[in-house]
A = this chain, B = another copy of it.
């Protein structure tokens, strides 16, 4: 892990950019954190739109995390931002777009082809990042995962025992294999569902919530479209992490 920049954003937040091999990422730590009082860590997931475009929303989440005493970090997804495109995923995305424009259902094959390569590539990268992040003296456990592509969150929470709790953003384009992963999850889950999400099927999201194996799972459904999560729903997700990571 190579740090490439460091700046103090405001009174309480230090932002450091880093690279992990070819993968760029960002680490945010509360200024008050030190090796003698390491902070728990929240991994900030995000959609495959590139870190640069997602930065305003990511830094807002990092500020909230820091206010609650947490470090937070994110890495670029495979095929996004400045990373090389993934031709197989791009082709599947075009197929999905064609299906939606033609008013046809998006078939399992398209979802598998679009999402599985992303999951298979991203999850090991998040785990490698976790190795490096937890080796820093100012960061301790436990670790939470929050948001982004729900299939990545599910698979990561299943295979990575250091993830102690996860906030997931309900989505309906979930490959069948990941749906099976969901049944095996055991960590506490806090699931956000936007009731009128224009990009996701509500019933499929409810079916996925039903499938999660975790004994503690909570669904918070709010009005509005995909990006309309109300402030109080973000606060509730932050309280979930405070309950489980502190």
In the assembly, what is the distance between CA of A217 and CA of B230, in Å? 11
B233 with A223: CB separation less than 8 A: no
User: Is the Cβ of B221 less than 8 Å from the Cβ of A195?
Assistant: no
Q: A22-30, A173-181, A208-216: which one contacts chain B? A: A208-216
Contact check, B216 vs A219: say whether CB atoms are below 8 A apart. no
Give the chain B neighbours of A240 by CB distance below 8 A. 232
Does A85 reach chain B (CB closer than 8 Å)? no
Tell me which of B195, B215, B216, B218 contacts A220 (CB under 8 A): B218
> A221 touches which one: B219, B223, B243 (CB < 8 A)?
B219
Does residue A236 face the partner (Cβ distance < 8 Å to B)? Answer: yes
Distance in angstroms between the alpha carbons of A219 and B215 in the assembled complex: 19
Answer whether residue A12 sits at the interface, using C-beta atoms and an 8 A cutoff: no
Given contacts A195-B210, A206-B206, A236-B236, A219 and B217 within 8 Å (CB-CB): no
Question: Is B221 a contact of A209 with CB atoms below 8 Å?
Answer: yes
Q: Which residues of B contact A220 (CB under 8 A)?
A: 218-220
A222 at the interface (CB under 8 A from B): yes
**A73 vs chain B, min Cβ distance (A):** 26
**Chain B residue at smallest Cβ distance from A233:** B218
CB-CB < 8 A to A239: which residues of B?
232, 236
A-B contacts besides A216-B230, A219-B221, A232-B239, 15 pairs, CB < 8 Å: A195-B219, A206-B206, A215-B223, A217-B222, A217-B223, A218-B220, A218-B222, A218-B223, A218-B232, A219-B219, A219-B220, A219-B222, A221-B221, A232-B240, A236-B239
26 contacts between A and B (CB under 8 A): A195-B210, A195-B219, A206-B206, A209-B221, A215-B223, A216-B223, A216-B230, A217-B222, A217-B223, A218-B220, A218-B221, A218-B222, A218-B223, A218-B232, A218-B233, A219-B219, A219-B220, A219-B221, A219-B222, A220-B220, A221-B221, A232-B239, A232-B240, A232-B243, A236-B236, A236-B239
Q: 6 smallest A-B Cβ distances: which pairs? A: A219-B221, A218-B222, A220-B220, A217-B223, A236-B236, A232-B243
